[in-house]
Structure formats: C-alpha cells, structure tokens
Amino acid sequence: GIRCIDINNYPLKEEIDGAFTWDESRSSVCYIGAITSIRGVECLIDAMPHVNRNVCLDLVGPYTEPGLHGACQNRTGWKRVNDHGVVDRASVREVMKESLAGIVTFLPAPNHVDAQPNKMFEYMSAGIPVICSDFPLWKEIVQGHSCGLCVNPEDPSAIAAAINQLYADQEYAKSMGRNGWSAVLNKYNWTAEAPKLLALYKAVLGG
C-alpha cells in the first residue's frame, strides 16, 4: 500500500533566535511573501487608513500578478506602505524583528483554509504576534498558543482593529510574540519533524 505521512515544512531550529527580545515600542507591521490578490494584499492595504497614523505596513516580496503592483499603488492606504521588494533572508529577519506583528490574512481558498501556513510559523519564530485569517485550523494554532489575533481576512476594518489593539497594548503584543516563539521552539520546528521523515525512509527502504 501507499504510505502517507504528514511532514510539515516548519522553520529550521537554528534560524530561531537564541533569545526572545522585544526592546523598543514598535510601529510597523509586516507582510512577507509572494504578493497576490488571493493572499489578501488589497484588503490589507485598505486597512491602513483605519490604523493608528503612527503605524506603517512593510511589504516584503515579489508581486506575482500582472498589474497588481499598480493597482496597489492606487489605493488610499498605499501612502502608509514601505514597499521593500525582494530582499535576502537576513533582511527579512531584520524587518520581522522590528515589527509589531506579522500578517497572513489570506483570502478563503481551499489551499489556504486547509493548509498550515509556513509564513505564520516564520513570524512566530521571529517572536512577533500573528494577525491571521480566521480559518478553523489557523485559529486552533493561534488561539491555542495565544500567539496572535484571528480576523475576517476580507474585512479591512477588522484587520485594522487587530493592528490597533496590538499597537495600543505593546505588553500584550510582546506576550503573544513570546508565546509564538516558545511554540516554535518546542513544537513547530523542523528538528521535531525530521525524525518522522527518517522513520519513513527507513520503513520504505526496509529498515
């Protein structure tokens, strides 16, 4: 029979920062990854006019849809966006480490709703709270570990309210960041997954 096993693409343990840090008061949120409509970028930009005016949005990643970059630049919230484009992994870590939260408000699509988003675990590994779509599987992770806020990804005002809540209470944001960081350290990391893969290879190769 066909062997089937879930191997999760979690962060590498050595990329998780050695100590949890949260120094200064933070005033930016970040979205990191491929930028597409189905990943909710327009709703996210539309949230920004409703966010405390001291807070900006760092967008890091490539626009992978024709015409989308221009459409984003025409939205009112764009003046609150720092558009970084594609940067190296070290720069991505820097952006995350200075963020109030990492955002993964993908719109409902089968491959979003039923999948664990790698990006969420990356934000957690950087010790920042997550603002994510309120899909049942994602809520289970985020609420189960008290490491972020779940929102309707199609509602800019709900996204804005979550950002404002974290900005207004940085101690709360910091505790969520710490919870996510601990969860990745103890559970959601590749070191924890690798033995499953090795066991599968052994079984397939007959021990």
Predicted confidence at residue 107, as pLDDT, reads: 96
pLDDT for res 194 = 57
Q: In what order do the strands lie in the sheet with 130-133?
A: 81-85, 56-60, 28-32, 101-104, 130-133, 148-151
Using 50 as the pLDDT threshold, list the residues of the chain that sit under it: 5, 7
Buried/exposed code over 167-194 (b: 16+ C-beta within 10 A; e: otherwise): beebeebbebbbbbbebbbeebbbeeee
Element (H, E) at 102: strand 101-104
pLDDT of residue 33: 94
pLDDT of residue 115: 83
Distance of CA 99 to the CA centre of its chain: 11
- What is the C-alpha separation between 196 and 162, in angstroms, rounded? 36
pLDDT at 96: 94
- pLDDT at position 12, please? 56
Q: Specify the pLDDT at position 201.
A: 66
Q: What three-state secondary structure class fits 52?
A: coil
Whether the CB-CB separation of 178 and 127 falls below 8 Å is answered with yes
Question: 49: which 2 tokens?
Answer: 């006019």
Q: In the prediction, which pLDDT does 24 show?
A: 77
pLDDT at 118: 84
State the pTM of this model.
0.85
pLDDT for position 13: 53
What is the reported pLDDT for 197? 57
pLDDT given for residue 110 in this prediction? 86
